[in-house]
Amino acid sequence: FDPGLAVFDGPNRLTLQVLSTIYDKAEQTQPDGSVTKLDGYAGGDTSNQGFLRWQATGNVMYNSGPFDFTYSMRYIPKTEASPFLTGFPKIPAADYHNIRMNFAVAKQMQFYVGVNNLFDRKPPIVPDNTSGSQAQNTISGFYHVFGRSYFAGTRLTF
């Protein structure tokens, strides 16, 4: 299944794709019967991790014979840090850009190279004990914590 829109097809193919996750309701019932709303937050604590209300990824994929190129952008909107924290400013929106190139050398051999977090965007800082990420001062489940990274490899099929 290819949910993308093929702009042109044939020996060259350009595909545009947008994927989004939307949480319309995420709640946790506490032992005393009260309900804690978890949607619309990036963090929480380890047992009450928040759920971003929405996030999206856009992909542009180009294929021409043995060459493939993919550009991907993930967007995380401005959000609250935690349902258990008051007075902390909202976490700003973030976007992460990745690129990947594949080269088919033979029918069963492919080389690939790429860059994750192309613009080396740093993760937002959130207070200790609210991130659900064991006091890393950010939320590694949503934000890229390693900075820019490069990769290369070979894929063989048998």
Nearest to 61 by CA among 51, 69, 53: 69
Share of the chain above pLDDT 70, in %: 84
Q: At residue 118, what is the residue type?
A: L
Give strand pairing partners of 97. Answer: 73
Q: Do the beta carbons of residue 139 and residue 130 sit within 8 Å?
A: no
Round to whole Å and give the CA distance between 158 and 112.
18
pLDDT value of position 94: 93
- Cα 149 from Cα 34, distance rounded (Å): 43
pLDDT of the residue at 127: 66
| Per-residue pLDDT of the chain in tens (158 residues, 90 and over written 9) | 445 555 555 678 899 999 998 888 888 888 899 888 888 887 766 666 678 889 999 999 999 989 999 999 999 999 888 777 777 778 889 999 999 999 999 888 999 999 999 999 998 887 655 545 455 677 777 888 889 999 999 999 98
Q: What pLDDT score was predicted for residue 1?
A: 41
Q: What pLDDT sits at residue 73? A: 97
Measure Cα distances from 38 to 21, 32, 50, 132 in Å: 15, 17, 5, 12
